[in-house]
Amino acid sequence: MSFAIETEGLVKIFRSRWSGKEVRAVDGITLSVEQGTTFGLLGPNGAGKTTFVKLLLSCAHATQGRATIFGRDAREAEARRPIGYLPENHRFPTYLTGRSMLDFYAALSGMDGAARRTRIPELLATVGLADWGNVRLGKYSKGMLQRVGLAQALMHSPTLLILDEPTDGVDPIGRRQIRDILHALEQQGVTIFVNSHLLGEVELFCRDVAIIHRGKVALEGKVKDLTAGAGYRLAVDYVPERLEQELRARATAVAQRNGSLEFLFGSREEANQAVDLLRAQYCEIEALTRTTSTLEDVFVRTVEDRQ
């Protein structure tokens, strides 16, 4: 198995200007991101997400530990060559047009003029800004700036894309367009690392996630595993009073919704036992569904447990 990103015991300590005390913004993070996957880094404000990304990009240097990009030490300039990066709250010169901004940053990355002239219109079309290339960025909306920022990150066809809040400020249609672009890149084998607090977007897009809290990894795994079945919901129209009391005693939760009683059971065995009891009393079952946790549920539980 090959990894796009690997860190081992990564630590970053700052010294507070006001108190003089040491602050561990990143506190021993060991993490691996498999090549060709979509990975989401989650955490509350101040958890250390952006500092972690800066360490990967060598915008900041680790106090201890190591980080590698495709097997190269992240501190080497060559390690950063295959990376495309869209920072949070990016600022592009507003007097430039979308086309001239992309040309400027592409030249900084070493692309020759002929490649830039071909690549820029392709990317403007890809991000839905084909008709805005000659308009100054000062006239762009926040969502349009995010999309042209994504185009900037994709100019040199990176094999690792690091995105810090890529859909922040983008309307629902724009978010879907960005997801479609990223899905297409994933199909091409590009590794995508998303740093975000928009949990719904991460759940829709990322395969693997890690939650960090106070500089440490609190939880990591595949989204489908972390949000796997949390129980079974059994809905019935009518239950004899005595049986209802028994089911209430067995269930982890009971609710009345749209004229039906709903019982929540923690395991398949408990749900099957409840079905047997209801059938024995000739009760009609409206529905039996497996419940799941959302990524937001998992996130909140994880952070609250670490308080």
Print pLDDT tens along the chain (307 aa): 789 999 999 999 988 777 778 889 999 999 999 999 999 999 998 899 999 999 999 999 999 999 999 999 999 999 999 999 999 888 999 999 999 999 999 999 889 999 999 999 999 999 999 999 999 999 999 889 999 999 999 999 999 999 998 887 788 888 888 889 999 999 999 999 999 888 888 988 899 999 999 999 999 999 988 887 768 999 998 899 999 999 999 998 788 777 788 998 988 899 999 999 999 999 999 999 988 788 988 898 888 877 6
Q: Could you tell me the domains of the chain?
A: 3-226 (3.40.50.300), 229-292 (3.30.70.980)
150: nearest Cα among 102, 117, 111: 102
Instruction: Identify whether the C-beta of residue 82 lies closer than 8 Å to the C-beta of residue 162.
Output: no
What DSSP line would sit under 229-296, residue for residue? EEEEEEEES---HHHHHHHHHH-SEEEEETTEEEEEESSHHHHHHHHHHHHHTTPPEEEEEEEE--HH
Tell me how far CA of residue 204 lies from CA of 102, 183, 201, 294, in angstroms.
Answer: 29, 11, 5, 11
Query: What pLDDT is stored for residue 307 in this prediction?
Result: 65
Looking at residue 39, its pLDDT comes to: 97
pLDDT for 167 equals 84
Q: Phi, psi (5° rounding) for residue 90?
A: -65, 155
